[in-house]
């Protein structure tokens, strides 16, 4: 038992996670998992001119009954040039992967372990995957990011689909701005055209603090009319620090159908 008093608990690696529904093609859809890892808690070793570490990442998604629906294990290498070390320690790392899922509710759980130090981190989130096959108007998750001029996080290499914008932290600077992207699925098409309008609303608790004008969704010429994208920016000027809810409402005027999605974020 000698020496037990000198043991120091290992610091946990902070991990933040967001999971959003996304369909990118008729055969590719599921939960888009976004992770943010605090690099300041990693043990980075200077080898061959770069600061290096390695993370073992385990991710699993469970349905409402607790049954495993999808999982994977991956080792992610961290290699940072000396001139980028300060930025990496300040902003951390992002990791994204699209997990194929059938319609339903799922809980995503992730655990990471750093090679060598044995430091660990974990996070969990819920996601709803709608049944796009019902051919009813539906929306993807609302993908959030800081406005482009504020976005400096680094990307870890992986083979998953990486749409922009997307963020795991969902914390934004007071008086800054937040960008969002959403996809509308199964819009009614007549004469090779759809007629969708959209509005974004921000709530603080039950109080509406912002509502955009109702706008017609402009559809690019080459876009798949069954997967119509929309992106916009919301200024956070005048927002008090605290938690908020963003609701995105889309109306299909050809069939008078409505769909909405919500996402939560924090102003700091």
pLDDT at 148: 59
pLDDT at 103: 94
pLDDT at 60: 95
Burial of 253-266, coded b for 16+ CB within 10 Å and e otherwise, reads eeeebebebebebe
In angstroms, the first-to-last Cα distance of the chain is: 46
Separation of alpha carbons 21 and 44, rounded Å = 34
Quote the distance between the C-alpha of residue 194 and its chain's center: 28
Tens-level pLDDT at each residue, the chain (268 residues): 344 344 444 578 999 999 999 998 887 889 999 999 998 989 999 999 999 999 999 999 999 999 999 999 999 999 999 999 998 898 888 898 999 999 999 999 999 999 988 899 999 999 999 999 999 999 999 999 887 554 444 444 333 333 455 689 899 999 899 999 999 999 999 988 999 999 999 999 999 999 999 999 988 777 889 999 999 999 999 999 999 999 999 999 999 999 999 999 999 9
Burial of 198-229, coded b for 16+ CB within 10 Å and e otherwise, reads bebbbbeeeeeebeeeeeebebeeeeeebbbb
SS3 22: strand
Burial of 109 (0-12, 13-18, 19+ CB in 10 A): middle
Separation of alpha carbons 181 and 139, rounded Å = 11
Separation of alpha carbons 108 and 141, rounded Å = 15
């Amino acid at each position: 038992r000698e020496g037990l008093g000198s043991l120091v608990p290992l610091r946990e690696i902070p991990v933040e996670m967001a999971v959003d529904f996304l369909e990118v093609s008729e055969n590719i859809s599921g939960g888009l998992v976004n992770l943010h890892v605090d690099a300041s808690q990693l043990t980075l070793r200077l080898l061959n001119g770069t600061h290096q570490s390695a993370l073992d990442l385990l991710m699993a998604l469970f349905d409402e009954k607790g049954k495993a629906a999808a999982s994977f294990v991956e080792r992610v290498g961290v290699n940072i040039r000396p001139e980028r070390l300060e930025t990496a320690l300040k902003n951390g790392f992002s990791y994204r992967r699209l997990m194929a899922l059938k319609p339903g509710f799922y809980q995503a759980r992730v655990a990471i372990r750093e090679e060598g130090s044995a430091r660990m981190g974990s996070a969990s989130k819920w996601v709803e995957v709608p049944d796009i096959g019902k051919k009813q108007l539906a929306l993807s998750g609302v993908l959030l990011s800081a406005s482009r001029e504020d976005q400096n996080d680094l990307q870890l290499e992986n083979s998953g689909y990486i749409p922009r914008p997307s963020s795991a932290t969902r914390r934004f600077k007071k008086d800054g701005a937040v960008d969002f992207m959403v996809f509308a699925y199964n819009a009614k098409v007549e004469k090779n055209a759809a007629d969708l309008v959209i509005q974004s609303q921000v709530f603080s608790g039950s109080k509406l603090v912002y509502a955009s004008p109702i706008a017609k969704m402009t559809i690019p010429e080459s876009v798949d009319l069954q997967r119509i994208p929309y992106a916009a920016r919301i200024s956070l000027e005048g927002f008090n620090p605290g938690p908020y809810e963003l609701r995105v409402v889309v109306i299909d005027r050809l069939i008078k159908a409505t769909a909405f999605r919500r996402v939560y974020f924090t102003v700091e």
